[in-house]
Structure 1
Amino acid sequence: MELRTVNVTRYITPLREGGSLPALAEADDGFKYVVKFRGAGHGTKALISELIGGQVAQTLGFRIPELVFVNLDEAFGRSEGDEEIQDLLQNSKGLNLGLHFLSGAFTFDPVVTHVDPKLASQIVWMDAFLTNVDRTVRNTNMLIWHKELWLIDHGATLYFHHSWVNWEKYAVSPFLQIKDHVLLPYASRLDEVDVEFKKILTSEKIGEIVDLIPDEWLEWGDEGETPGDIKKIYLQFLIERINNSQIFVKEAQNARKALI
Protein backbone atom coordinates (compact mmCIF):
# COMPACT_ATOMS: atom_id res chain seq x y z
CA MET A 1 0.00 0.00 0.00
CA GLU A 2 1.51 3.32 -1.09
CA LEU A 3 0.59 6.79 -2.31
CA ARG A 4 2.06 8.73 -5.20
CA THR A 5 3.88 11.99 -4.47
CA VAL A 6 3.33 15.03 -6.69
CA ASN A 7 4.70 18.57 -6.62
CA VAL A 8 2.49 21.66 -6.68
CA THR A 9 3.16 23.80 -9.73
CA ARG A 10 0.24 26.23 -9.61
CA TYR A 11 -2.02 27.50 -6.84
CA ILE A 12 -5.41 28.05 -8.48
CA THR A 13 -7.93 29.18 -5.88
CA PRO A 14 -8.75 28.77 -2.18
CA LEU A 15 -11.77 26.67 -1.24
CA ARG A 16 -12.93 28.53 1.84
CA GLU A 17 -14.54 25.75 3.84
CA GLY A 18 -14.38 26.24 7.60
CA GLY A 19 -10.98 27.17 8.95
CA SER A 20 -8.89 24.67 7.03
CA LEU A 21 -8.49 26.73 3.82
CA PRO A 22 -7.97 23.87 1.38
CA ALA A 23 -7.21 24.93 -2.17
CA LEU A 24 -7.51 23.81 -5.75
CA ALA A 25 -4.02 23.41 -7.18
CA GLU A 26 -2.31 21.90 -10.19
CA ALA A 27 0.57 19.44 -9.85
CA ASP A 28 3.46 18.35 -12.04
CA ASP A 29 1.52 15.31 -13.26
CA GLY A 30 -0.93 17.61 -15.03
CA PHE A 31 -3.88 16.90 -12.73
CA LYS A 32 -5.75 19.19 -10.36
CA TYR A 33 -6.06 18.37 -6.67
CA VAL A 34 -7.93 19.65 -3.66
CA VAL A 35 -4.96 20.20 -1.33
CA LYS A 36 -5.20 20.02 2.45
CA PHE A 37 -2.36 21.99 4.04
CA ARG A 38 -0.36 21.08 7.12
CA GLY A 39 -0.14 24.77 8.04
CA ALA A 40 -3.91 25.12 8.50
CA GLY A 41 -6.14 24.83 11.59
CA HIS A 42 -5.48 21.41 13.11
CA GLY A 43 -2.13 20.98 11.38
CA THR A 44 -0.92 17.53 10.40
CA LYS A 45 -3.53 15.80 12.58
CA ALA A 46 -6.20 16.78 10.03
CA LEU A 47 -4.01 15.29 7.30
CA ILE A 48 -3.61 12.08 9.31
CA SER A 49 -7.40 11.87 9.70
CA GLU A 50 -7.84 12.41 5.97
CA LEU A 51 -5.21 9.81 5.13
CA ILE A 52 -6.42 7.09 7.48
CA GLY A 53 -10.10 7.79 6.79
CA GLY A 54 -9.59 7.79 3.05
CA GLN A 55 -7.55 4.60 3.03
CA VAL A 56 -10.05 2.81 5.28
CA ALA A 57 -12.83 3.89 2.90
CA GLN A 58 -10.90 2.65 -0.11
CA THR A 59 -10.09 -0.65 1.59
CA LEU A 60 -13.79 -1.17 2.32
CA GLY A 61 -14.64 -0.65 -1.35
CA PHE A 62 -16.02 2.88 -1.36
CA ARG A 63 -15.32 5.30 -4.17
CA ILE A 64 -13.02 8.11 -3.05
CA PRO A 65 -10.87 10.52 -5.06
CA GLU A 66 -7.27 9.33 -5.35
CA LEU A 67 -5.18 10.48 -2.40
CA VAL A 68 -1.65 11.70 -3.07
CA PHE A 69 1.12 13.22 -1.03
CA VAL A 70 1.62 16.80 -2.23
CA ASN A 71 5.05 18.36 -1.90
CA LEU A 72 5.19 22.11 -1.45
CA ASP A 73 8.51 23.77 -2.14
CA GLU A 74 9.75 26.34 0.37
CA ALA A 75 9.72 29.06 -2.30
CA PHE A 76 6.16 28.38 -3.39
CA GLY A 77 3.61 31.07 -2.56
CA ARG A 78 6.02 33.93 -1.90
CA SER A 79 4.37 35.96 -4.65
CA GLU A 80 0.83 35.32 -3.38
CA GLY A 81 -0.92 38.63 -2.80
CA ASP A 82 -3.28 37.44 -0.05
CA GLU A 83 -1.31 37.53 3.20
CA GLU A 84 -3.45 34.83 4.85
CA ILE A 85 -2.86 32.45 1.95
CA GLN A 86 0.84 33.37 1.77
CA ASP A 87 1.27 32.53 5.47
CA LEU A 88 -0.60 29.25 4.98
CA LEU A 89 1.64 28.22 2.09
CA GLN A 90 4.82 29.27 3.88
CA ASN A 91 3.81 27.22 6.91
CA SER A 92 3.00 24.19 4.76
CA LYS A 93 6.34 23.48 3.11
CA GLY A 94 7.06 19.77 2.79
CA LEU A 95 4.47 17.01 2.47
CA ASN A 96 0.78 17.87 2.40
CA LEU A 97 -2.18 15.81 1.19
CA GLY A 98 -4.23 16.08 -1.98
CA LEU A 99 -7.43 14.56 -3.33
CA HIS A 100 -7.95 14.26 -7.07
CA PHE A 101 -10.37 16.98 -8.16
CA LEU A 102 -13.64 15.52 -9.44
CA SER A 103 -14.50 18.09 -12.09
CA GLY A 104 -18.24 18.43 -12.63
CA ALA A 105 -19.26 16.56 -9.48
CA PHE A 106 -22.21 17.87 -7.47
CA THR A 107 -23.12 17.60 -3.81
CA PHE A 108 -25.15 14.58 -2.73
CA ASP A 109 -28.72 15.49 -1.79
CA PRO A 110 -30.54 12.81 0.24
CA VAL A 111 -33.90 14.12 -0.97
CA VAL A 112 -32.94 13.68 -4.62
CA THR A 113 -30.69 10.61 -4.55
CA HIS A 114 -31.81 7.32 -2.99
CA VAL A 115 -29.17 5.23 -1.19
CA ASP A 116 -30.06 1.58 -0.70
CA PRO A 117 -30.04 0.15 2.86
CA LYS A 118 -26.87 -1.90 2.36
CA LEU A 119 -24.77 1.03 1.12
CA ALA A 120 -26.24 3.33 3.77
CA SER A 121 -25.38 0.78 6.46
CA GLN A 122 -21.84 0.44 5.13
CA ILE A 123 -21.21 4.19 5.23
CA VAL A 124 -22.78 4.59 8.68
CA TRP A 125 -20.70 1.68 10.02
CA MET A 126 -17.46 3.15 8.68
CA ASP A 127 -18.18 6.62 10.03
CA ALA A 128 -19.06 5.22 13.46
CA PHE A 129 -15.84 3.20 13.42
CA LEU A 130 -13.76 6.26 12.47
CA THR A 131 -15.77 8.60 14.73
CA ASN A 132 -16.55 10.87 11.79
CA VAL A 133 -18.58 13.85 13.04
CA ASP A 134 -18.97 15.39 9.58
CA ARG A 135 -21.43 13.45 7.44
CA THR A 136 -24.63 15.25 8.34
CA VAL A 137 -27.57 16.74 6.45
CA ARG A 138 -25.88 20.13 6.74
CA ASN A 139 -22.63 18.84 5.27
CA THR A 140 -22.87 15.39 3.69
CA ASN A 141 -19.29 15.21 2.38
CA MET A 142 -20.53 13.03 -0.45
CA LEU A 143 -20.56 13.82 -4.15
CA ILE A 144 -22.31 12.44 -7.21
CA TRP A 145 -19.84 12.04 -10.05
CA HIS A 146 -20.70 10.19 -13.27
CA LYS A 147 -23.93 9.07 -11.56
CA GLU A 148 -22.01 7.32 -8.77
CA LEU A 149 -21.63 8.15 -5.07
CA TRP A 150 -18.19 9.29 -3.94
CA LEU A 151 -17.05 9.95 -0.37
CA ILE A 152 -14.85 12.96 0.37
CA ASP A 153 -13.29 14.84 3.28
CA HIS A 154 -12.44 12.57 6.20
CA GLY A 155 -10.52 15.28 8.04
CA ALA A 156 -13.02 15.26 10.92
CA THR A 157 -12.44 11.61 11.81
CA LEU A 158 -10.40 10.26 14.75
CA TYR A 159 -11.17 13.29 16.90
CA PHE A 160 -9.58 11.58 19.92
CA HIS A 161 -6.14 12.65 18.71
CA HIS A 162 -6.84 16.34 19.26
CA SER A 163 -6.55 15.79 23.01
CA TRP A 164 -4.26 12.74 22.80
CA VAL A 165 -5.25 11.50 26.26
CA ASN A 166 -7.41 8.57 27.35
CA TRP A 167 -7.35 7.05 23.87
CA GLU A 168 -8.40 3.74 25.40
CA LYS A 169 -11.69 5.30 26.52
CA TYR A 170 -12.38 6.78 23.10
CA ALA A 171 -11.57 3.45 21.43
CA VAL A 172 -14.59 1.82 23.07
CA SER A 173 -16.92 4.82 22.94
CA PRO A 174 -20.39 4.32 21.43
CA PHE A 175 -20.00 7.49 19.31
CA LEU A 176 -23.15 9.35 20.24
CA GLN A 177 -22.82 11.76 17.29
CA ILE A 178 -23.95 9.00 14.92
CA LYS A 179 -27.50 10.18 15.60
CA ASP A 180 -26.84 13.11 13.23
CA HIS A 181 -25.61 10.97 10.31
CA VAL A 182 -27.39 11.82 7.07
CA LEU A 183 -27.84 8.15 6.08
CA LEU A 184 -28.77 6.72 9.47
CA PRO A 185 -32.52 6.46 8.69
CA TYR A 186 -31.73 4.05 5.84
CA ALA A 187 -29.06 1.98 7.63
CA SER A 188 -31.11 -1.13 8.42
CA ARG A 189 -28.39 -3.73 7.76
CA LEU A 190 -25.70 -2.79 10.27
CA ASP A 191 -25.34 -6.27 11.80
CA GLU A 192 -24.68 -7.78 8.37
CA VAL A 193 -22.17 -5.06 7.48
CA ASP A 194 -20.42 -5.44 10.83
CA VAL A 195 -19.61 -9.09 10.09
CA GLU A 196 -18.44 -8.33 6.54
CA PHE A 197 -16.28 -5.32 7.31
CA LYS A 198 -14.53 -6.90 10.29
CA LYS A 199 -13.28 -9.61 7.94
CA ILE A 200 -11.82 -6.98 5.62
CA LEU A 201 -10.26 -4.64 8.20
CA THR A 202 -7.80 -7.08 9.69
CA SER A 203 -5.06 -5.99 12.07
CA GLU A 204 -2.57 -6.45 9.25
CA LYS A 205 -4.54 -4.23 6.88
CA ILE A 206 -4.96 -1.53 9.53
CA GLY A 207 -1.22 -1.71 10.16
CA GLU A 208 -0.52 -1.10 6.46
CA ILE A 209 -2.75 1.98 6.52
CA VAL A 210 -1.15 3.44 9.66
CA ASP A 211 2.32 2.84 8.23
CA LEU A 212 1.50 5.29 5.44
CA ILE A 213 1.65 8.24 7.86
CA PRO A 214 4.84 10.21 7.10
CA ASP A 215 7.10 10.62 10.12
CA GLU A 216 7.25 14.38 9.50
CA TRP A 217 3.52 14.56 10.30
CA LEU A 218 4.17 13.10 13.75
CA GLU A 219 6.36 15.73 15.36
CA TRP A 220 3.68 16.88 17.81
CA GLY A 221 3.97 14.03 20.32
CA ASP A 222 4.73 14.39 24.00
CA GLU A 223 8.36 14.64 25.07
CA GLY A 224 10.11 11.42 24.27
CA GLU A 225 7.31 10.12 22.02
CA THR A 226 8.70 8.99 18.67
CA PRO A 227 6.78 8.75 15.40
CA GLY A 228 6.83 4.98 15.92
CA ASP A 229 5.23 5.39 19.35
CA ILE A 230 2.47 7.58 17.91
CA LYS A 231 1.78 5.18 15.05
CA LYS A 232 1.47 2.38 17.57
CA ILE A 233 -1.27 4.28 19.42
CA TYR A 234 -3.20 4.88 16.18
CA LEU A 235 -2.90 1.17 15.42
CA GLN A 236 -4.01 0.11 18.89
CA PHE A 237 -6.91 2.57 18.83
CA LEU A 238 -8.25 1.28 15.52
CA ILE A 239 -7.80 -2.39 16.42
CA GLU A 240 -9.45 -1.91 19.80
CA ARG A 241 -12.31 -0.06 18.17
CA ILE A 242 -12.99 -2.74 15.60
CA ASN A 243 -12.68 -5.50 18.21
CA ASN A 244 -15.47 -3.75 20.15
CA SER A 245 -17.58 -2.78 17.15
CA GLN A 246 -20.75 -4.05 18.80
CA ILE A 247 -20.64 -0.94 21.02
CA PHE A 248 -20.89 1.60 18.18
CA VAL A 249 -23.17 -0.64 16.10
CA LYS A 250 -25.65 -0.90 18.98
CA GLU A 251 -25.55 2.87 19.47
CA ALA A 252 -26.29 3.45 15.79
CA GLN A 253 -29.17 0.98 15.87
CA ASN A 254 -30.69 2.62 18.94
CA ALA A 255 -30.30 6.08 17.41
CA ARG A 256 -31.99 4.86 14.22
CA LYS A 257 -34.93 3.44 16.17
CA ALA A 258 -35.40 6.83 17.80
CA LEU A 259 -35.60 8.43 14.34
CA ILE A 260 -38.05 6.05 12.72
Structure 2
Amino acid sequence: METVEKLREQEVVRYMQPLREGGSLPALVEADDTYKYVLKFKGAGHGVKALIAELIGGKIAQALGLPIPELVFLDLDEAFGRTEADEEIQDLLRGSHGRNLGLHFLSQAMTFDPAVTEVDSLMASKIVWLDAFITNVDRTAKNTNMLMWKKELWLIDHGACLYFHHSFTNWEQAAITPFALIKDHVLLKQASKLDDINSFFREILTDDTIKNIVNLIPEEWLLWEDGDYSPEQLREIYFNFLSKRLSNSEIFLNEAKNAREKLI
Protein backbone atom coordinates (compact mmCIF):
# COMPACT_ATOMS: atom_id res chain seq x y z
CA MET A 1 0.00 0.00 0.00
CA GLU A 2 1.31 3.40 -0.93
CA THR A 3 2.16 5.63 2.00
CA VAL A 4 1.11 9.21 2.66
CA GLU A 5 3.19 11.26 5.03
CA LYS A 6 1.43 11.64 8.39
CA LEU A 7 1.08 14.99 10.07
CA ARG A 8 3.20 16.02 13.01
CA GLU A 9 1.32 16.74 16.25
CA GLN A 10 2.18 19.86 18.23
CA GLU A 11 0.73 21.84 21.13
CA VAL A 12 -0.15 25.53 20.79
CA VAL A 13 1.70 27.55 23.41
CA ARG A 14 1.06 31.14 22.33
CA TYR A 15 -1.71 32.97 20.52
CA MET A 16 0.03 35.78 18.66
CA GLN A 17 -2.51 37.61 16.52
CA PRO A 18 -5.72 37.08 14.56
CA LEU A 19 -5.52 37.04 10.79
CA ARG A 20 -8.78 38.75 9.94
CA GLU A 21 -9.18 37.42 6.42
CA GLY A 22 -12.45 35.82 5.41
CA GLY A 23 -14.95 34.47 7.89
CA SER A 24 -12.95 31.74 9.59
CA LEU A 25 -10.74 34.07 11.68
CA PRO A 26 -7.51 32.04 11.56
CA ALA A 27 -4.64 33.12 13.78
CA LEU A 28 -0.89 33.24 13.89
CA VAL A 29 0.28 31.05 16.77
CA GLU A 30 3.46 29.56 18.17
CA ALA A 31 3.66 25.85 18.94
CA ASP A 32 5.83 23.90 21.36
CA ASP A 33 8.34 23.20 18.59
CA THR A 34 9.05 27.01 18.55
CA TYR A 35 7.70 27.35 14.98
CA LYS A 36 4.90 29.68 13.94
CA TYR A 37 1.75 28.41 12.24
CA VAL A 38 -1.43 29.75 10.71
CA LEU A 39 -4.01 28.00 12.86
CA LYS A 40 -7.40 27.02 11.45
CA PHE A 41 -9.91 26.58 14.28
CA LYS A 42 -12.51 23.82 14.42
CA GLY A 43 -14.73 26.24 16.37
CA ALA A 44 -14.94 28.74 13.51
CA GLY A 45 -17.19 29.15 10.50
CA HIS A 46 -17.95 25.76 8.99
CA GLY A 47 -16.15 24.03 11.84
CA VAL A 48 -14.54 20.65 11.36
CA LYS A 49 -15.77 20.36 7.76
CA ALA A 50 -13.51 23.26 6.76
CA LEU A 51 -10.61 21.52 8.49
CA ILE A 52 -11.39 18.25 6.72
CA ALA A 53 -11.43 20.09 3.39
CA GLU A 54 -8.16 21.82 4.27
CA LEU A 55 -6.56 18.52 5.21
CA ILE A 56 -7.76 16.50 2.21
CA GLY A 57 -7.20 19.29 -0.31
CA GLY A 58 -3.75 20.04 1.03
CA LYS A 59 -2.61 16.44 1.18
CA ILE A 60 -3.87 15.76 -2.35
CA ALA A 61 -1.94 18.80 -3.55
CA GLN A 62 1.13 17.50 -1.75
CA ALA A 63 0.71 14.02 -3.25
CA LEU A 64 0.62 15.64 -6.70
CA GLY A 65 3.90 17.44 -6.02
CA LEU A 66 2.40 20.91 -5.65
CA PRO A 67 3.99 23.25 -3.08
CA ILE A 68 1.95 23.83 0.07
CA PRO A 69 3.08 24.82 3.56
CA GLU A 70 3.49 21.86 5.89
CA LEU A 71 0.21 20.80 7.49
CA VAL A 72 0.41 20.06 11.22
CA PHE A 73 -2.14 18.93 13.80
CA LEU A 74 -2.22 21.61 16.49
CA ASP A 75 -3.79 20.85 19.86
CA LEU A 76 -5.38 23.46 22.13
CA ASP A 77 -5.42 22.70 25.86
CA GLU A 78 -8.66 23.41 27.73
CA ALA A 79 -6.91 26.12 29.73
CA PHE A 80 -5.63 27.89 26.64
CA GLY A 81 -7.02 31.36 26.00
CA ARG A 82 -8.67 32.01 29.36
CA THR A 83 -6.78 35.27 29.69
CA GLU A 84 -7.64 36.48 26.16
CA ALA A 85 -9.30 39.91 26.44
CA ASP A 86 -11.21 39.81 23.14
CA GLU A 87 -14.50 38.00 23.79
CA GLU A 88 -14.90 36.89 20.18
CA ILE A 89 -11.45 35.32 20.19
CA GLN A 90 -12.02 33.80 23.63
CA ASP A 91 -15.21 32.13 22.39
CA LEU A 92 -13.35 30.85 19.35
CA LEU A 93 -10.59 29.36 21.49
CA ARG A 94 -13.08 27.85 23.92
CA GLY A 95 -14.89 26.16 21.05
CA SER A 96 -11.66 24.78 19.60
CA HIS A 97 -10.18 22.79 22.46
CA GLY A 98 -8.59 19.60 21.20
CA ARG A 99 -7.28 18.97 17.71
CA ASN A 100 -7.09 21.76 15.12
CA LEU A 101 -5.08 22.24 11.93
CA GLY A 102 -2.12 24.48 11.24
CA LEU A 103 -0.09 25.48 8.20
CA HIS A 104 3.56 26.37 8.60
CA PHE A 105 3.86 30.15 8.53
CA LEU A 106 5.76 31.39 5.49
CA SER A 107 7.43 34.46 6.91
CA GLN A 108 7.55 37.48 4.57
CA ALA A 109 5.53 35.71 1.87
CA MET A 110 3.62 37.95 -0.51
CA THR A 111 0.13 37.43 -1.90
CA PHE A 112 0.30 36.15 -5.47
CA ASP A 113 -0.60 38.87 -7.96
CA PRO A 114 -1.39 37.59 -11.49
CA ALA A 115 -0.59 41.04 -12.89
CA VAL A 116 2.94 40.83 -11.52
CA THR A 117 3.89 37.16 -11.65
CA GLU A 118 3.47 34.92 -14.69
CA VAL A 119 2.77 31.25 -14.06
CA ASP A 120 3.92 28.80 -16.72
CA SER A 121 1.39 26.62 -18.51
CA LEU A 122 2.47 23.39 -16.81
CA MET A 123 2.08 24.72 -13.27
CA ALA A 124 -1.15 26.52 -14.17
CA SER A 125 -2.57 23.30 -15.61
CA LYS A 126 -1.65 21.37 -12.47
CA ILE A 127 -3.35 23.87 -10.19
CA VAL A 128 -6.47 24.18 -12.33
CA TRP A 129 -6.79 20.39 -12.52
CA LEU A 130 -6.40 20.09 -8.74
CA ASP A 131 -9.05 22.71 -8.03
CA ALA A 132 -11.49 21.21 -10.52
CA PHE A 133 -10.98 17.79 -8.94
CA ILE A 134 -11.48 18.90 -5.33
CA THR A 135 -14.16 21.46 -6.32
CA ASN A 136 -12.24 24.40 -4.86
CA VAL A 137 -14.33 27.54 -5.31
CA ASP A 138 -11.68 29.82 -3.85
CA ARG A 139 -8.84 30.45 -6.32
CA THR A 140 -10.11 33.48 -8.19
CA ALA A 141 -8.57 36.78 -9.21
CA LYS A 142 -10.27 38.40 -6.21
CA ASN A 143 -8.89 35.81 -3.79
CA THR A 144 -6.06 33.78 -5.29
CA ASN A 145 -5.13 31.83 -2.14
CA MET A 146 -1.57 31.59 -3.41
CA LEU A 147 1.60 33.10 -2.03
CA MET A 148 5.00 33.95 -3.45
CA TRP A 149 7.69 32.81 -1.02
CA LYS A 150 11.39 32.65 -1.85
CA LYS A 151 10.49 33.27 -5.51
CA GLU A 152 8.25 30.19 -5.61
CA LEU A 153 4.49 29.82 -5.85
CA TRP A 154 2.76 28.21 -2.85
CA LEU A 155 -0.86 27.08 -2.50
CA ILE A 156 -2.80 27.85 0.67
CA ASP A 157 -6.30 27.64 2.06
CA HIS A 158 -8.27 24.68 0.73
CA GLY A 159 -11.02 24.96 3.34
CA ALA A 160 -13.66 25.86 0.75
CA CYS A 161 -13.20 22.73 -1.35
CA LEU A 162 -15.30 19.53 -1.17
CA TYR A 163 -18.38 21.65 -0.60
CA PHE A 164 -20.62 18.62 -1.18
CA HIS A 165 -20.08 17.67 2.47
CA HIS A 166 -22.11 20.62 3.74
CA SER A 167 -25.30 18.79 2.73
CA PHE A 168 -24.41 15.15 1.97
CA THR A 169 -27.76 14.78 0.22
CA ASN A 170 -26.34 13.11 -2.89
CA TRP A 171 -22.59 12.66 -2.88
CA GLU A 172 -22.77 10.28 -5.85
CA GLN A 173 -24.18 13.01 -8.08
CA ALA A 174 -21.83 15.61 -6.63
CA ALA A 175 -18.89 13.40 -7.57
CA ILE A 176 -19.67 13.70 -11.28
CA THR A 177 -20.56 17.39 -11.46
CA PRO A 178 -18.62 19.34 -14.12
CA PHE A 179 -17.77 22.13 -11.61
CA ALA A 180 -18.83 25.14 -13.67
CA LEU A 181 -17.14 27.56 -11.25
CA ILE A 182 -13.77 26.62 -12.75
CA LYS A 183 -14.51 29.41 -15.26
CA ASP A 184 -13.50 31.91 -12.55
CA HIS A 185 -10.12 30.31 -11.83
CA VAL A 186 -7.31 32.85 -11.81
CA LEU A 187 -4.94 30.57 -13.79
CA LEU A 188 -7.41 29.05 -16.27
CA LYS A 189 -6.20 31.06 -19.26
CA GLN A 190 -2.64 29.75 -18.87
CA ALA A 191 -3.72 26.13 -18.32
CA SER A 192 -3.02 24.77 -21.81
CA LYS A 193 -1.79 21.32 -20.77
CA LEU A 194 -4.82 19.94 -18.98
CA ASP A 195 -4.99 16.72 -21.01
CA ASP A 196 -1.38 15.84 -20.22
CA ILE A 197 -1.83 16.67 -16.56
CA ASN A 198 -5.01 14.61 -16.36
CA SER A 199 -3.19 11.49 -17.52
CA PHE A 200 -0.23 12.16 -15.24
CA PHE A 201 -2.26 12.90 -12.10
CA ARG A 202 -4.59 9.93 -12.57
CA GLU A 203 -1.54 7.67 -12.38
CA ILE A 204 -0.38 9.31 -9.14
CA LEU A 205 -3.70 9.33 -7.30
CA THR A 206 -4.27 5.64 -6.77
CA ASP A 207 -7.03 4.32 -4.56
CA ASP A 208 -4.42 3.52 -1.91
CA THR A 209 -3.16 7.11 -1.93
CA ILE A 210 -6.67 8.52 -1.61
CA LYS A 211 -7.58 6.08 1.15
CA ASN A 212 -4.44 6.92 3.11
CA ILE A 213 -5.22 10.64 2.85
CA VAL A 214 -8.81 10.14 4.01
CA ASN A 215 -7.61 7.99 6.91
CA LEU A 216 -5.65 10.99 8.24
CA ILE A 217 -8.91 12.68 9.31
CA PRO A 218 -9.02 12.65 13.14
CA GLU A 219 -11.99 10.76 14.53
CA GLU A 220 -13.04 13.75 16.66
CA TRP A 221 -13.59 15.71 13.42
CA LEU A 222 -16.04 13.03 12.25
CA LEU A 223 -18.38 13.03 15.25
CA TRP A 224 -20.98 15.29 13.66
CA GLU A 225 -24.05 16.40 15.57
CA ASP A 226 -26.03 17.03 12.36
CA GLY A 227 -25.74 13.59 10.82
CA ASP A 228 -26.39 9.88 11.29
CA TYR A 229 -23.07 8.65 9.91
CA SER A 230 -20.32 7.01 11.93
CA PRO A 231 -16.69 8.14 11.45
CA GLU A 232 -16.04 4.98 9.45
CA GLN A 233 -19.00 5.67 7.16
CA LEU A 234 -17.92 9.28 6.64
CA ARG A 235 -14.39 8.24 5.70
CA GLU A 236 -15.87 5.77 3.23
CA ILE A 237 -18.03 8.50 1.67
CA TYR A 238 -15.05 10.85 1.28
CA PHE A 239 -13.03 8.06 -0.30
CA ASN A 240 -15.83 7.03 -2.66
CA PHE A 241 -16.50 10.65 -3.66
CA LEU A 242 -12.85 11.25 -4.57
CA SER A 243 -12.38 7.88 -6.24
CA LYS A 244 -15.53 8.25 -8.35
CA ARG A 245 -14.67 11.85 -9.27
CA LEU A 246 -11.19 10.78 -10.36
CA SER A 247 -12.46 7.89 -12.49
CA ASN A 248 -14.81 10.36 -14.21
CA SER A 249 -12.22 13.12 -14.54
CA GLU A 250 -13.13 13.77 -18.19
CA ILE A 251 -16.31 15.47 -16.92
CA PHE A 252 -14.54 18.22 -15.01
CA LEU A 253 -11.63 18.21 -17.44
CA ASN A 254 -13.89 19.03 -20.39
CA GLU A 255 -15.66 21.72 -18.37
CA ALA A 256 -12.32 23.40 -17.67
CA LYS A 257 -11.17 23.11 -21.29
CA ASN A 258 -14.42 24.55 -22.63
CA ALA A 259 -14.30 27.41 -20.14
CA ARG A 260 -10.71 28.13 -21.14
CA GLU A 261 -11.57 28.27 -24.85
CA LYS A 262 -13.92 31.15 -24.11
CA LEU A 263 -11.03 33.12 -22.60
CA ILE A 264 -8.51 32.75 -25.42
State TM-score, norm by structure 2.
0.97
Q: CA RMSD in A?
A: 0.8
Q: Which residue of 2 aligns with 1:199?
A: 203
1:96-151 deviations in whole A, cap 9, x for unaligned? Answer: 00000000100111111111111100100000000000000000001010001100
Q: Residue 203 of structure 1 contacts residue 239 of structure 1 at CA under 8 Å; is this kept in 2?
A: yes
Equivalent-residue separation in structure 1 for 2:220 and 2:151 (angstroms): 38
Match of 2:190 in 1: 186
Contact 1:116–1:186, Cα closer than 8 Å, also in 2 = yes
- Cα deviation for residue 223 of structure 1 reads 5.3
Displacement, 1:8? Answer: 0.5
Cα separation, 1, equivalents of 2:23 and 2:139: 17
Q: Which amino acid aligns with 1:127?
A: D
**Superposition misfits of 4+ residues, deviation over 2 angstroms:** 221-224
User: In the alignment, which of 39, 45, 65 is matched to residue 41 of structure 1?
Assistant: 45
User: 1:40-63 CA distances to partner (integer Å, 9 max, x unpaired)?
Assistant: 010000000000000000000011
Q: Give the corresponding residue for 1:65.
A: 69
> Residue 5 of structure 1 is aligned with which of 3, 9, 29?
9
Shift of 1:199: 0.1
Structure 1 partner of 2:231: 227
- Residue identity in the other structure for 1:234: Y
1:249 aligns with 2:258: no
Q: Deviations over 1:141-184 (max 9, x none)?
A: 01010001100000011000011110011100000000000000
Match for residue 242 of structure 2?
A: 238
Does the 8 Å contact 1:167/1:237 carry over to 2?
yes
CA distance in 1: counterparts of 2:228 and 2:56, whole angstroms:
24
Where in structure 2 are there 5+ consecutive unaligned residues?
none
Paired amino acid for 1:201: L
Matched, 1:134 2:164: no
- Which structure 1 segments of 5+ residues have no match? none
**2: distance between equivalents of 1:3 and 1:107?**
25
2-structure distance, mates of 1:244, 1:102: 35
The answer for the alignment partner of 1:110 in structure 2 is 114
CA distance in 2: counterparts of 1:7 and 1:223, whole angstroms: 30
Once the 2 structures are TM-superposed, how far is the Cα of residue 221 of structure 1 from its aligned partner?
A: 6.2
Identity over aligned residues, as a percent? 65
Partners of 1:167 and 1:221 in 2: how far apart?
A: 19
Give the Å deviation of 1:19.
1.3
Aligned to 2:24: 20
Deviations 1:22-72 (A, max 9, x none): 000000000000000000010000000000000000000011100000000
Q: Find the counterpart in structure 1 of residue 218 from structure 2.
A: 214
Per-residue CA shift, 1:205-257, capped at 9, x if unaligned? Answer: 00000000000000116654210000000000000000000000000000001
SS class of match (1:52) = helix
Residues 38, 92 of structure 1: 8 Å contact kept: yes
Aligned amino acid, residue 50 of structure 2: A
- Is the contact between residue 221 and residue 230 of structure 1 (CA under 8 Å) also seen in structure 2? no
Paired residue secondary structure (1:259): coil
What is the total number of aligned residue pairs between the two structures?
A: 260
How do 1:74-153 residues align onto structure 2 when only pairs under 5 Å count? 74-153=78-157
Query: Aligned partners of 2:78 and 2:220: how far apart in 1?
Result: 15
Tell me the CA shift for residue 17 of structure 1: 1.3
Asked if structure 2 preserves the Cα contact closer than 8 Å seen for 1:179 and 1:255, the reply is yes
Partner of 2:262: helix, strand, or coil? helix
Match of 2:163 in 1: 159
